[in-house]
Structure 1
């Protein structure tokens, strides 16, 4: 897909028949715990890449936009980049100050992805995932690369 333009569109009600099972397959269910708060991803806006090739869910928090989930069917094909770029461009035009995102300490690929796209680490909440498991018990103890999942890492990209 590199070199090709990937169409991005806002999700509509009819997309829920695809979005819910997709989120459940990726995250165990359609919720996310961010900074100790459970968020129903079916109740927030979403962007869809191409022909259901990727999904980004987000919410607006004051003058910032928070990415809640970002998934591409096939990694390293430009889908995630297209989704994040579209989000940044859209909200820059609306006067938002920044895009923010939280991830876990085991998500080395995600940390690389965000940092190479202009995001900077702004906070590390040590031990936060233990508290998040009290809200969403399905969060695994061990994540990518066999790393224990324990910390929430916040990143921010000014617009």
Structure 2
């Protein structure tokens, strides 16, 4: 299977919006570390394709000397899509002279936490009740997943 990655282009907007809506309930997400609503579909990003089929999408934003991962979605799991997408953003961040990549996930997202740490991210912060604050901006954030209450934000970074 051949995987390719390319920058999101205007013709990808429908696919990006569909994937974000299926995963996040819409293209608007809470940039949790900043406590603001962000249209992830309007952010720069990359599309991964596996044998010509949409395999994943990542969106990001540069903030000063940091690049924040806004969303990452592997539509086809278990094929290295997530790591390939992170590699693409990491290359852009390095090229731009960023000091770090960073992201926020939630306390219930144990699969993602394992993935990010295996990739090389380090857990650097716990924002207690951060999701409770985020729900004020986006009330549709679920209360629990897999029987785990979703309450806290976990901040991870990858120094570059």
Of residues 109-118 and 35-44 in structure 1, the stretch that sits farther from structure 2 once superposed is: 35-44
Find out whether 1:8 has 2:5 as its counterpart.
Answer: yes
Question: C-alpha separation between the residues in 2 aligned to 1:86 and 1:79?
Answer: 11
In structure 1, the residue corresponding to 2:119 is in which secondary structure?
coil
| 57, 78, 81: which one aligns with 1:79 | 81
Q: Gaps (5+ residues) in structure 1?
A: none
Q: Do the aligned partners of 2:27 and 2:39 also contact (CA within 8 Å) in 1?
A: yes
Find out whether 1:101 has 2:106 as its counterpart.
Answer: no
Q: Which residue of 1 aligns with 2:72?
A: 70
Q: Gaps (5+ residues) in structure 2?
A: none
Across the two proteins, how many residue pairs are aligned to each other?
A: 155
Instruction: Show structure 1 runs of 4+ deviating over 2 A.
Output: none
Q: Which residue of 1 aligns with 2:116?
A: 114
Q: Do the aligned partners of 2:19 and 2:73 also contact (CA within 8 Å) in 1?
A: no
Question: C-alpha separation between the residues in 1 aligned to 2:139 and 2:27?
Answer: 13
RMSD: 1.1
Per the TM alignment, residue 94 of structure 1 is displaced from its structure 2 partner at its CA by 2.1
Per the TM alignment, residue 18 of structure 1 is displaced from its structure 2 partner at its CA by 1.2
Output the TM-score relative to the length of structure 1.
0.93
Per the TM alignment, residue 126 of structure 1 is displaced from its structure 2 partner at its CA by 0.5
Q: Which residue of 2 aligns with 1:158?
A: 159
Question: C-alpha separation between the residues in 2 aligned to 1:90 and 1:59?
Answer: 11
Question: C-alpha separation between the residues in 2 aligned to 1:26 and 1:127?
Answer: 22
Question: C-alpha separation between the residues in 2 aligned to 1:122 and 1:47?
Answer: 26
Q: Which residue of 2 aligns with 1:43?
A: 42
Question: C-alpha separation between the residues in 2 aligned to 1:158 and 1:57?
Answer: 19
In structure 1, the residue corresponding to 2:54 is in which secondary structure?
coil
In structure 2, the residue corresponding to 1:7 is in which secondary structure?
strand
Per the TM alignment, residue 93 of structure 1 is displaced from its structure 2 partner at its CA by 2.2
